[in-house]
Amino acid sequence: MVELALLLLAACSAGSDSGSKGDSDASTGSTCISEGDDVCDGIDNDCDGVVDEDGATLFYRDEDGDGFGASSVSVLSCEESLPGYVTDFTDCSDVDGTIYPEAPEFCDGRDHDCDGEVYEDGSEDIEPWYSDEDGDGYGSIRHIVEACVGPEGYSASSADCDDDDPYISPRAVEICDDEDVDEDCDGLVDEFDDWAAGGDPYYIDRDGDRYGDAATLPEWLCERPDDYVVNNDDCDDFEASISPSGIESCNTLDDDCDAIVDEDVCPLESVPVPDDSGVLPPDTDDSGTGASGGSDSGSGSSGSGSAGAAPPRAFWSRWW
C-alpha cells in the first residue's frame, strides 16, 4: 500500500510540472509559460491574461499635435510609433497647440507651460510699467518694472514731464502763465501752444487802422502784440483809410467795408452811363465824368482810364 501511494504521488507531481511549462491560454488560444517573461509576440507569455504588456509601449493621444498627449486616451502597442499618439501624457490642454509643458508663456491668463501659474514674469509679451509718483495716470522713467499686470502706483505711459505735479501731464490744459510751464507736456509753452487757457485770438493789423485782416486766420496768443487786434473787420488791411470807420467817397471803393460801393455819395448828374458796348459818352461839359474828346487812339483822358473806357463795373452797381 505504501508503494502504491508513492507511485500516485509521483504521477501527480509529474502532471503538475508539465502543466506549469505548457498551460493553455484561453484568452489567446496559445500556450502560456507561467514562469516566462512577456515579450511582443502576440502571446501571453506570463499567463496573467494580458498579452505583450511588458514588451509593448503605452501611447497617448496627441489631439492638438503639440508633441504632448493627455492621459485620458491611451493605446498599448508593440509598434515603435503610432500616428497621432505620443509617449508623453503631460499636456494640460490637449485641444490647444500653444499649451504644453515648457511652452512660451503669454500674458493672456492661460497657463501655456502647464506649471499651474499664469501672468508669469517670463512671459513673451511682458510690458514695462512706469512709476506714477503724482497719481495723475502718467508715469516717468524714474522707476520701471516689467510685469503682465501693472503694479499699483505704476502706469503704462512714461509721458509725464513732471511726475511730482499732478496738474502737469499729457491730459492737462496748457495755461498762459508767467513761468512758461509746459502743462500738457507737448514741448510747447503758453502762446506757442494752440488754444492755451487764458489766451485770445488776435488778427494782424498791417495798416494800423485798429481793424484786423478779414482774410487771415487768427493767432491764439497769451498777450496782444502791437500789430495785432481782437477783430477781423478790415476789408482792406493794406489801406488805412479803408475800414469799418472809414468815410465813403465817390471813388469806386468800399471805403467803410459795408460791401456797398459809393453809396449815397456820387451825384446823379456826374455819373455817366456807358452804352451797350461799355463805352462812355463824350465829356461835353468838361466835368471829367464822360469820355474826353480827341482821337480814337485814346490820347484824351477820362480820369485815369483811356478814352471811351468805362470805370470798373462796381462803379455802376449802385445805379444799374
The shares of helix, strand and coil residues in the chain, as percent rounded to the nearest 5, are: 10, 15, 75
H-helix or E-strand spanning residue 32: strand 30-32
| 51-55, 171-175, 236-240: the lowest-pLDDT one | 51-55
Calpha distance 219→181 (Å, rounded): 20
Encode pLDDT of 195-223 as tens digits. 899 999 999 999 999 999 999 999 999 99
Q: Whole-angstrom distance between the N-terminal and C-terminal Cα of the chain?
A: 165
Report CA torsion sign: 271, 277, 278, 279.
negative
Question: Largest Cα–Cα distance in the chain?
Answer: 185
pTM, full prediction: 0.52
State CA 181 to chain mean position distance: 29
Distance CA 120, CA 103 (A): 12
Range in 87-91, 227-231, 286-290, 312-316 with the lowest mean pLDDT:
312-316
Q: Which of 15-19, 33-37, 236-240, 291-295 has the lowest mean pLDDT?
A: 15-19
pLDDT tens string 120-139:
988 999 999 999 999 999 99
Please give the radius of gyration of the chain, using alpha carbons only, rounded to the nearest integer: 53
- How distant, in Å, are the alpha carbons of 60, 124, 130, 148, 149 from that of 152? 45, 22, 10, 13, 9
pLDDT tier, 275 (very low <50, low <70, confident <90, very high otherwise): confident
| pLDDT at residue 218 in the model | 93
Give the pLDDT of residue 76: 86
- Predicted local distance difference test score (pLDDT) of residue 193: 75
Nearest of 273, 285, 276 to residue 311 by alpha carbon: 273
Domain extents for the chain?
126-198, 200-265, 271-320
Asked whether the predicted pLDDT for residue 27 surpasses 90, the reply is no
Those residues whose C-beta lies under 8 Å from the C-beta of residue 259, and which sit 6 or more positions away, are 235
More confident residue, 286 or 105: 105
228: helix, strand or coil? strand
Provide the pLDDT confidence category of residue 6 given band limits of 50, 70 and 90: very low
Closest CA to 296 of 285, 278, 309: 309
C-alpha span between 113 and 107 (Å, rounded): 12
pLDDT at 109 over 80: yes
What is the arithmetic mean of pLDDT over 140-149? 96
Q: How far is CA 25 from CA 16, 31, 42, in A?
A: 16, 5, 12
The three three-digit cell numbers of residue 186, written as one number? 507737448
CA gap 173, 178 in Å, rounded: 16
Give the pLDDT of residue 45: 73
